[in-house]
Amino acid sequence: MTRTAGRTPLVELSGVSKHYGNVRALEGVSLQVHAGEVTCVLGDNGAGKSTLIKIIAGLHRHDGGTLALDGEATRLSSPREALDRGIATVHQDLAVVPLMPVWRNFFLGSEPRRGVGPFKRMDVDLMRRTTRAELLRMGIDLRDVDQPIGTLSGGERQCVAIARAVYFGAKVLVLDEPTAALGVKQSGVVLKYVAAARDRGLGVVFITHNPHHAYLVGDRFVLLKRGTMTGEHTRDEVALDELTRQMAGGAELDGLRHELRRAQDDEPRRARDAGPRRSAALPPGRG
């Protein structure tokens, strides 16, 4: 019995499908997101990961199946509704303004104000203090929250976005390929804060094409290919090597390996067969 047995998932997809005209983007996809766990969705380009994100984030409505939040079937109509229901999505582009300071990006669109009437203005001191405190609570020690966020590394910007989602009350955090464009060290920093969000009790959906990163933090794994599920495992059901094999194609790779080996084995035979024919074609006295 798993540690989540009997608990209602924060988010549950059951047989969810999405079509764009005649194009099948998703077909019969199911997954569960529990508080204090990381659900990893793995797949190459075109696997359906982006469509899955859009459905959970409220950008697109699913055509078939069921999307349930806290056990209640629903159809999200907008990203604002998803956010109001506790689902925060951190996209690859992060939606930050590079020249604005870190604290301004932290509160972007939700700036607290003080004063009344025409004297109402942004509470800059509160935003600075809160940003610094919330980043420290997540273990992020920036040199200066007044520096433009564009001066931070890609990993640091990802971590600020995660801390922001936690501060604004997210129950579910959806991360769209957060380590895709990062080096080894920066990827490690981001994974550290993914684990920190999990340990704070959030349910995390970690979208990635890297099984090694997924296995470091994941509790559940869903594999997608061309819009359909090719595997679903909990951590105690699958080893990293098997997860990597399935992610890489498994049986398809075995078939390709057989084809390549046969082609390589045939190479010397073709060379031997070609030799005498070329000799026989030469005019007398040559060769």
The pLDDT tens digits for 208-229 are 989 999 999 999 999 999 889 9
Quick one: tokens of 8? 């209602």
In this structure, are residues 30 and 229 in contact, taking their beta carbons and an 8 Å threshold?
yes
pLDDT score recorded for residue 110:
85
pLDDT score recorded for residue 69:
95
Distance in angstroms (rounded) separating the CA atoms of residues 79 and 97: 20
* Residue found under tokens 């798993």: 2
SS (H, E, C) 153-167: CHHHHHHHHHHHHHH
Pick the closest to residue 90 from 5, 208, 10 (CA basis).
Answer: 208
At 192-212, the pLDDT tens digits run 989 999 998 999 999 998 999
* pTM, full prediction: 0.80
DSSP state of 1: -
pLDDT score recorded for residue 287:
44
Q: Tell me, rounded to whole angstroms, the distance of Cα 240 from its chain centroid.
A: 18
pLDDT score recorded for residue 114:
85
- Which residues have a Cβ under 8 Å from the Cβ of 171 and sit 6 or more positions away? 10, 35, 86, 87, 202, 203
What are the φ and ψ backbone dihedral angles of 109, each rounded to 5 degrees? 90, -10
pLDDT score recorded for residue 262:
66
Maximum separation of any 2 CA atoms in the chain, in Å: 106
> Quick check: helix, strand or coil at residue 208?
strand
Beta strands per DSSP E along the chain: 11-20, 23-33, 38-42, 64-69, 72-74, 87-90, 113-114, 121-122, 172-176, 203-208, 220-225, 228-234
Query: In the chain, which stretches have pLDDT less than 70?
Result: 1-6, 249-258, 262-287
Measured N-to-C along each axis, helices 154-167 and 184-199 cross at an angle, to the nearest 10 degrees, of: 10
pLDDT score recorded for residue 204:
96
What percentage of the chain exceeds 90 in pLDDT? 48
Pick the closest to residue 91 from 43, 49, 40 (CA basis).
Answer: 49
From edge to edge, which strands make up the β-sheet containing 228-234? 87-90, 172-176, 203-208, 38-42, 220-225, 228-234
pLDDT score recorded for residue 189:
87
pLDDT score recorded for residue 182:
85
What are the φ and ψ backbone dihedral angles of 101, each rounded to 5 degrees? -65, 165
